[in-house]
Amino acid sequence: MIDVIVVGAGPTGLMLASELRLHGVSTLVLDREPEPTPYVRALGLHVRSIELLEARGLLERFLAQGTRHPLGGFFAGISGPAPRDLDTAHGYVLGIPQTVTDRLLAEHAAELGAQIRRGCGLVGLRQDDDGVQAELTDGIRVAARWLVGCDGGRSTVRRLSGIDFPGEPSRIDTLLGEMKVDAPAEEVAAVTAEVRRTEFRFGLMPVGDGLYRVLVPADDVADDRGTPPTLDEVKDQLRVFAGTDFGVHSPRWLSRFGDATRLADPYRVGRVLLAGDAAHIHPPVGGQGLNLGLQDAVNLGWKLAADVAGWAPDGLVDSYAAERRPVAADVLENTRAQMVLISSGPGPEAVRGLIGELMEIDGVSRYLTEKITAISVRYDLGDGHPLLGRRLRDVPLHRHGRLYGLMHAGRGLLLDQTGDLAVGWWEDRVDHVVDTSDELDSRDLPAVLLRPDEHVAWVGEDQTDLLRALPTWFGSDAGA
């Protein structure tokens, strides 16, 4: 029996597979497509995702393939100053095509020993209290302890599990694709800039190999969401909004997306869970979708691994939905707001102007930036220190380099600035590091217990209090 089947070899599924393999969990990744998609569906990584890559020792690979861009201007495309002294060591957006992100994550998952089986989809599943039986397109049945659907907005796993997907259907459609453009680059840039003064769902951007990424509002909402538009539809809409079709031709791919917002209810049925777009869909404004899925994966991975290992405390796996579903709901809300702001018409334009003025205030800019980049996420871990439930940023340490450099194995970590504490029986799950940082006041943070996802589970200096906190996230003591 395999420990975990992950359905979907996109960023969420590959990140989840890697997190599971860090703990020795046997993992099979299935994807119905025979090859990774060559299409660039997402274009960048936000701060929190960048931090997660740093915490797993992957960031340098991504930096070598991407471009750093300054923060600011990605809330509904409204330009504004980046907030001062943002609480992160990585205050930038990393521009990197999703095709590259997929490749790097697939390489990492394979290095760790995950099985990735492409051209093999899921057609049926049944489960009992002990596990899941998955029926594949090749007729093979595979048994697993858990199955996680990371298979996108039209998730087969969600459908087969009978999980509801309530929300609002699309009211507008946008056409998207990559294609050749005959018009001179200067003309394309000038016309695009003029159109985008009033229509923010429009754009032509070079993506290499002589191709442009083309974005233009559709004429109406498609009845069949799975049917791509034709090149003639794209040309017609370009002429409507720009007065020219730029001589577009030879599309490599064509697609459409809407402004539907849906949130799975529940995230878990028995031994089947959902993550990424299988659990939540929303308009792509703000570039949050891929990032939200990566963060789902890191929250879920260590919890499933704990269950497989047999030491997960009661409710640990269910804490995934309790923590991540509200985060997804908040993303749905902010994308709804952004879609209103990018609408055409005097009302939305007036509100955009007002928001632009407010974003000149550092506190407003900080609030919106932290929301989009997910560094303001706080899980409800009860009352206590202001950092409880929040992630602790990567900080330099006096003897051990940087904090996130100590978390590559995906284990818990006790950063002990007192030198007086011990993790006792939990040393097989929690690393104990005695060190100090100039960026952490030892009077306010004498010691910090971090979960594998860098979120703060405990702050204090009392050994007895620490021993009460450890079982909540790392199970009963190993000697019991």
Helix, strand or coil for residue 179? strand
pLDDT tens, position by position, 323-337: 999 999 999 999 999
Q: Is 444 exposed, middle or buried (0-12, 13-18, 19+ CB in 10 A)?
A: exposed
Tell me the pLDDT band of 480, cut-offs 50, 70 and 90.
very low
Is the pLDDT confidence value at 339 over 70?
yes
pLDDT in the model for residue 70: 87
pLDDT in the model for residue 479: 44
**Average pLDDT of the segment spanning 370-389:** 96
Is the pLDDT confidence value at 478 over 70?
no
pLDDT tens, position by position, 211-264: 999 999 999 888 776 788 999 999 999 999 999 999 999 999 999 988 999 999
| Helices and strands, counts by H and E, the chain | 12, 22
Weakest mean pLDDT among 225-229, 341-345, 381-385, 471-475? 225-229
CA neighbor of 97 nearest in space, from 105, 109, 87: 105
Rg of the chain, C-alpha, whole Å: 23
pLDDT in the model for residue 407: 98
Contact at 8 Å (CB) between 467 and 414? no
Tell me the pLDDT band of 127, cut-offs 50, 70 and 90.
very high
What the chain holds in terms of domains, given with CATH numbers, is: 2-167+262-373 (3.50.50.60), 173-258 (3.30.70.2450), 403-474 (3.40.30.120)
Alpha carbons within 13 angstroms on the beta-carbon side of residue 175 total 26
**Average pLDDT of the segment spanning 84-107:** 95
Can you tell me the distance from the alpha carbon of 271 to that of 475, in angstroms, rounded to the nearest whole number? 20
Q: Percent of the chain scored above 70 by pLDDT? A: 99
Is the pLDDT confidence value at 128 over 60?
yes
Q: Percent of the chain scored above 90 by pLDDT? A: 86
Helix, strand or coil for residue 391? strand
What DSSP line would sit under 311-343, residue for residue?
-PPTTHHHHHHHHHHHHHHHHHHHHHHHHHHTS
Alpha carbons within 13 angstroms on the beta-carbon side of residue 317 total 20
pLDDT tens, position by position, 288-315: 999 999 999 999 999 999 999 999 999 9
Tell me the pLDDT band of 443, cut-offs 50, 70 and 90.
very high
Tell me the pLDDT band of 115, cut-offs 50, 70 and 90.
very high
- For residues 283, 284, 286 and 287, what is the CA-based torsion angle, rounded to 10 degrees? 150
**Average pLDDT over all residues of the chain:** 94
pLDDT in the model for residue 477: 65
The three-point CA angle 316-409-269 to 5° equals 30
Query: In which residue are the tokens 């709804």 written?
Result: 336
Is the pLDDT confidence value at 197 over 90?
no
CA neighbor of 429 nearest in space, from 376, 360, 478, 395: 478
Q: CB under 8 Å to 348, separation ≥6 — which residues? A: 340, 341, 342
pLDDT in the model for residue 73: 64
